[in-house]
Amino acid sequence: MNISDLKAVVGTNSWGSAFYGKVLRGSAVDDATLKEAIQLAVKLNLLVFDTAQDYGLGKGQKMIGELCPEEIMISAKFTPSSKHKYEYGQVRESIENDLEDFHRDYVDIYWLHLPNDIEQNLREMIQLYHEGKIRHIGISNFNLAECQRAKMILDAEHIPLYGVQNHYSLLDRTWEKNGVLDWCKENDVKFWAWAVLEEGLLVPPKKDEKFTIMKFIFERKREKLYPLYKAMHEIGKEHRISIAQVAMAYVSNKGIIPICGCRKPYQIAQLYKASQVKLSDVEIRRLERISDRLQVNILGADMFRFAVRK
């Protein structure tokens, strides 16, 4: 598969130990279910899986290495410290640990997870790109000025900036409103959106939902969101897709690559289908109008900006 033809990405933030799954999402998923989900992803050509060292409290990456066949392309990240100053060799040390976890010689896409020490970290990534350990370079949680700076550094070395991985969803379009999305389109840089389902908020609650951290955070926001759920339900009915799939399709239809947290086969199937659905301009405008009117506060675009060193 050519990475330029990518329609959607499988997020693996919720992969990890049974304990982690229970605390984070209220339930655990066993390896057999994950393997089934991975096989289906391969069958449907959903071949890119996104991860980072801290996912699943460190276990997520190891599971990718153990469970994913070669066809799966890996999107991984270097997370620069928000407290400590840059030290030469930190990216190399980190990617070597990652490659060990993946049982591979290279990663398909490597993202600078935060805009800390941009110049120094990118210089190391450029070196690793030349050595073949990184196939594509991306940046994550960067604002417009930081994106422009990163691109200048890479341009000088004749290396394309593959993409920007920032938060984007029907509830939070900050990076569209402040020009980052247009800048990406103008510069042929892919825009990947993380948390298109707002970690479960853009999914109606399960009837028998147990207490989880997410449930506690979402409860009151969900009440406020009913008019949006109603519109998503109606639009979904027209296209024979679920509310969650409307959230995914909305992002795809904006020319953005959705990363969706999947750990079950049905989620893979739904992500695939949603990335094929064509929403009309009227449907898109309706969803945006309601979302803008409701103004539900979420951590959203700023969730990780607190970790950007001043």
Exposed e or buried b per residue across 137-148, where buried means at least 16 C-beta atoms within 10 angstroms of its C-beta: bbbbbbbbebbe
**Number of residues forming the site for ligand NAP (CB under 6 A):** 28
Can residue 252 be called a binding residue for ligand NAP (CB under 6 A)? no
Least distance between ligand NAP and beta carbon 64 (Å): 11
What is the pattern of x (binds ligand NAP, CB under 6 A) and - over residues 273-302?
A: ------------------------------
Q: Pick the closest to residue 127 from 149, 110, 140 (CA basis).
A: 110
Can residue 121 be called a binding residue for ligand NAP (CB under 6 A)? no
Tokens of 36: 């089934």
Least distance between ligand NAP and beta carbon 47 (Å): 15
- How distant is the alpha carbon of residue 145 from its chain centre? 21
Q: Which part of the chain contacts ligand NAP (CB under 6 A), choosing from 5-13, 65-73, 127-135, 277-285?
A: 5-13
Least distance between ligand NAP and beta carbon 217 (Å): 12
**Where are the alpha helices (H) located in the chain, listed in sequence order?**
18-25, 31-43, 59-67, 90-102, 118-130, 144-156, 174-177, 180-186, 213-224, 226-239, 243-253, 265-274, 281-294
Residue of 6, 8, 13, 287 that binds ligand NAP (CB under 6 A): 13
Can residue 143 be called a binding residue for ligand NAP (CB under 6 A)? no
Are 21 and 27 contacting, i.e. CB atoms less than 8 angstroms apart? yes
Residue of 8, 20, 25, 150 that binds ligand NAP (CB under 6 A): 25
Can residue 256 be called a binding residue for ligand NAP (CB under 6 A)? no
Tokens of 221: 């926001």
Q: Pick the closest to residue 150 from 126, 177, 185 (CA basis).
A: 126
Distance of alpha carbon 182 from alpha carbon 186, whole angstroms: 6
What is the pattern of x (binds ligand NAP, CB under 6 A) and - over residues 40-79?
A: ----------x-----------------------------
What is the pattern of x (binds ligand NAP, CB under 6 A) and - over residues 164-203?
A: -x----------------------------xxxxxxx--x
Distance of alpha carbon 95 from alpha carbon 101, whole angstroms: 10
- How distant is the alpha carbon of residue 139 from its chain centre? 12
Can residue 163 be called a binding residue for ligand NAP (CB under 6 A)? no
Residue of 270, 272, 275, 300 that binds ligand NAP (CB under 6 A): 270
Binding footprint of ligand NAP on the chain (CB under 6 A): 11-14, 25, 50, 113, 140-141, 165, 194-200, 203, 242, 244, 259-263, 267, 270, 304
